């Protein structure tokens, strides 16, 4: 899609937030900063609401720091160190100090940060982001997105950081599954439920964007796009932009033709091709696009994998794929990282045997 995304161009201000309860809570959080747990389904507008709140609270855009928890827990230590946002904090060496029984602590030498565990790396990066007040004074807002992916040891580290740095940092935890947060985190935050928008609310947003873009539309076209997105506002806005690019209008016919060709099946097929060919890096790159850019859940990706698999496999190979998918589905329910579990499926396919034990 060419040009800036409408989701960025028409990001809502605090006054534009369509859900009155969310808008009211965010307005109060601007007046009296408080830690928040923002919870709701994919595409409901959680991140957009937090950005709107931060824009109203801070004059400096840099005062909002966004960290996607999946950036840590769905990546290797090498990938984390190579990320330009984190690498500066993970180079060099530090004194290594250890306590032996009742003896006082003794310095034992130097320890390279490259030898740290992932938990140590994550905790250090988090502390570095909040250790000092913003250059312009006041406080910063730290958004931890997709927090359901955080392991308990990271959540315990986050709790300690929240206790030590609360004077100049507002912590906002965004999640689809608040039950996966430890009680110590939930008790330190005000809960902000964000429900999926209704079709009427989605249509109202699309109508305002279409008018601002001077795009021809009709009610049936907007309603079709809203239904296509199924409660995912981000998906609806991108679908409306796709329809406009394809047809210069948002009508029922234009939306049907444009969006019927926009499925993830082709991308999933490319992902499976790469996995089967042993090109794991390429397969995982496509998986990242599906999970992050397309906003699909792990279960949705798995359903598409099965759909594509039924069209290309048969007999024992198809049966093996279903067996593997059943194991992965259980992992998705009980685990924390869709990227890791779907990557396991791709790795098994690349090994040439669709069984978990392979």
CA torsion sign for 183, 47, 299, 358 is: negative
- pLDDT bucket at 351, cuts 50 / 70 / 90: low
Maximum distance among all alpha carbons in the chain?
A: 78
CA distance 264 to 187: 39
85 has a pLDDT exceeding 80: no
354 has a pLDDT exceeding 50: no
- Choose the weakest-confidence range: 185-194, 229-238, 244-253, 312-321: 312-321
Distance of CA 124 to the CA centre of its chain: 21
- pLDDT bucket at 282, cuts 50 / 70 / 90: confident
Task: Give the pLDDT of residue 300.
Answer: 81
Domains of the chain: 19-89+119-193 (3.40.50.300), 199-260 (1.10.8.60), 265-350 (1.20.272.10)
Phi-psi region of 101 (alpha: psi -120 to 50; beta: other; left: phi over 0): left
Contacts with 331 (C-beta within 8 Å, 6 or more apart), sequence order: 341, 344
- Choose among 70, 51, 72, 68: nearest CA to 141: 51
CA distance 30 to 138: 12
Tens-place pLDDT, residues 133-153 = 666 678 899 999 888 878 888
- Choose among 311, 314, 286, 312: nearest CA to 301: 286
Segment 299-326 mean pLDDT: 81
- Choose the weakest-confidence range: 3-17, 98-112, 163-177, 203-217: 98-112
Cβ count near 209 (within 10 Å)? 22
Task: Give the pLDDT of residue 349.
Answer: 72
Contacts with 33 (C-beta within 8 Å, 6 or more apart), sequence order: 57, 139, 141, 170
Segment 247-266 mean pLDDT: 82
Task: Give the pLDDT of residue 211.
Answer: 96
Taking the whole predicted model, whether its pTM rises above 0.85 is answered as no
49 has a pLDDT exceeding 90: yes
3 has a pLDDT exceeding 70: no
Mean of the per-residue pLDDT values of the chain: 82
């Amino acid at each position: 899609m060419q040009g800036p995304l409408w989701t960025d161009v028409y990001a809502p201000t605090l006054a534009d937030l369509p859900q009155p309860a969310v808008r009211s809570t965010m307005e109060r959080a601007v007046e009296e900063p408080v830690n928040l747990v923002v919870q709701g389904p994919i595409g409901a507008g959680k991140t957009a609401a937090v950005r709107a709140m931060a824009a109203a609270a801070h004059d400096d855009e840099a005062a909002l720091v966004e960290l996607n928890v999946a950036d840590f827990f769905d990546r290797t230590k090498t990938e984390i160190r190579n990320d330009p946002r984190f690498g500066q904090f993970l180079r060099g060496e530090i004194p290594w100090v250890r306590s032996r029984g009742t003896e006082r602590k003794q310095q034992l030498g130097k320890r390279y940060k490259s030898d740290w565990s992932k938990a140590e790396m994550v905790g250090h990066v988090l502390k570095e982001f909040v250790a000092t007040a913003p250059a312009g004074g006041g406080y910063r807002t730290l958004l931890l997105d997709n927090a359901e992916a955080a392991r308990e040891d990271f959540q315990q580290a986050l709790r300690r950081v929240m206790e030590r740095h609360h004077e100049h940092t507002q912590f906002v935890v965004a999640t689809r599954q608040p039950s996966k947060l430890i009680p110590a985190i939930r008790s330190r935050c005000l809960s902000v439920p964000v429900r999926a928008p209704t079709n009427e609310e989605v249509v109202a947003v699309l109508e305002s964007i279409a008018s601002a873009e001077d795009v021809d539309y009709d009610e049936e076209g907007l309603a079709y796009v809203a239904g296509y997105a199924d409660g995912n506002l981000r998906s609806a806005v991108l679908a409306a932009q796709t329809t406009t690019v394809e047809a210069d209008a948002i009508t029922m016919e234009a939306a049907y033709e444009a969006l019927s060709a926009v499925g993830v099946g082709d991308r999933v097929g490319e992902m499976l091709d790469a996995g089967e060919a042993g090109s794991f890096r390429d397969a995982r790159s496509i998986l990242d696009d599906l999970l992050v850019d397309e906003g699909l859940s792990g279960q949705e990706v798995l359903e598409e994998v099965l759909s594509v698999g039924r069209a290309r496999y048969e007999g024992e190979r198809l049966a093996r794929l279903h067996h593997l998918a059943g194991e992965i589905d259980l992992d998705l329910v009980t685990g924390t990282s869709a990227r890791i579990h779907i990557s396991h499926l791709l790795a098994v396919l690349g090994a040439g045997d669709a069984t978990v034990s392979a």
